[in-house]
Amino acid sequence: MNKNENASKQPIIIMHGLFGSKTNWNILSKSIHQQTDRKVITIDARNHGDSPHSADMTYKHMAQDVVKLMNDLGFEKSTLIGHSMGGSAMMYVALNNPKLIEKLIVVDMSPVRTSPNLMEMEKIFKAMRSIKLNGIMTLTKARAMVKDQLANVVEPLPLRQFLAMNLVEADVGKYKWRVNLPVLEQNFATQIAVFPNIDSKIYDGPTLFIGGSESDYIKSDDHDKIKKLFPSANFIYINGANHWVHADKPTEFLKIVVDFINQP
């Protein structure tokens, strides 16, 4: 066991958002580990990163993946952290398996409101689908070309860089998307952008929603509706942060997360 891990403390599992991967959380997860004395597991959602591709892309399936991982690792309880799509997956886990969850942290995602960027995401899917790469080139050059070709649809450079990281080498000089783009696009509007109906289920354990002050994913008007599902929920907004809260303001984000996890 790592000297910074306390066997009596429950582990932490982190899931990224759409088009992300566990590597997005490398630096933060190490800091969370060091400041909480807990094992931290970052995972790739299905159809992302190193995880298998599947035609099934619903929050029910993503939640089942998390529960199976917990069972395989022998975790009786865990604290769950999820950003955006990952936040919805972790909410679904908590609502359907409350006894498995010690605490829940949802980063800039709401269970009661459809993503305000629905149409923007559809443009991104189309742009990614239309990427053309000609000739043998290095991965660095290929990703640079992707960033250039996405510029007409995706203005912020950090977002284009984030998307371009999904380009990987399939063969010498040949590239492919690491994410399962067709399945993600097919399921986005009906399965990913909307939180599923969970009937009258609730998760009343310690819950924290962390939003960006510049993002409109978690509306203050929705707090009461969210608390019907998560009665113990608290809400914190980080000034100057947009949807990628943890990337925009990592220092502030880390302190909020560590303080919440370390609360007895």
Residue 245 in contact with residue 238, Cβ under 8 Å? yes
- For 126-184, the pLDDT digits (tens) are 999 999 887 778 999 999 999 999 998 888 888 899 999 999 988 887 899 999 999 99
* Alpha carbons 5 and 197: distance in angstroms, whole number: 37
Residue 1 has pLDDT above 60, yes or no: no
Q: In this structure, is residue 229 part of a structural domain? A: yes
Of how many residues is the chain composed? Answer: 264
106 shares a domain with 38 = yes
166 shares a domain with 203 = no
Region of poorest pLDDT, from 113-122, 123-132, 174-183, 237-246: 113-122
> Burial letters for 123-138: b for 16+ Cβ neighbours within 10 Å, e otherwise?
ebbebbeebebeeeee
Average pLDDT over residues 60-79: 97
155 shares a domain with 59 = no
* 239 SS3 class: coil
List, in order, residues 6 or more apart from 174 with CB less than 8 Å away: none
Q: In this structure, is residue 6 part of a structural domain? A: no
Query: How sure is the predictor about 7, in pLDDT bands with cuts at 50, 70 and 90?
Result: low
* 248 SS3 class: helix
Total domain count for the chain? 2
Q: In whole angstroms, how far apart are CA 55 and each of 152, 180, 222?
A: 30, 9, 32
> Burial letters for 99-121: b for 16+ Cβ neighbours within 10 Å, e otherwise?
ebbbbbbbbbbbbebebeeeeeb
List, in order, residues 6 or more apart from 107 with CB less than 8 Å away: 81, 82, 83, 84, 86, 87, 210, 245, 246, 253
* Alpha carbons 197 and 58: distance in angstroms, whole number: 12
* Alpha carbons 62 and 45: distance in angstroms, whole number: 7
Residue 106 in contact with residue 90, Cβ under 8 Å? yes
- Residue 73: CA atoms inside 13 Å, Cβ hemisphere, count? 19
210: amino acid identity, one letter: I
Helix axes 85-96, 59-73, angle to 10 degrees: 70
Q: Which residue segment(s) compose the domain that 103 sits in?
A: 12-114+195-262
- For 77-113, the pLDDT digits (tens) are 999 999 999 999 999 999 999 999 999 999 999 999 8
132 shares a domain with 177 = yes
Task: Say which CATH number the domain at 205 has.
Answer: 3.40.50.1820
**pTM of the predicted structure, to 2 decimals:** 0.94
List, as one string, the DSSP characters of 98-157: GGGEEEEEEES--SSS--TTHHHHHHHHHHHHT----S---HHHHHHHHHHHHTTT---H
Query: How sure is the predictor about 4, in pLDDT bands with cuts at 50, 70 and 90?
Result: low
Task: Give pLDDT, residue 5.
Answer: 62
155 shares a domain with 86 = no
110 shares a domain with 90 = yes
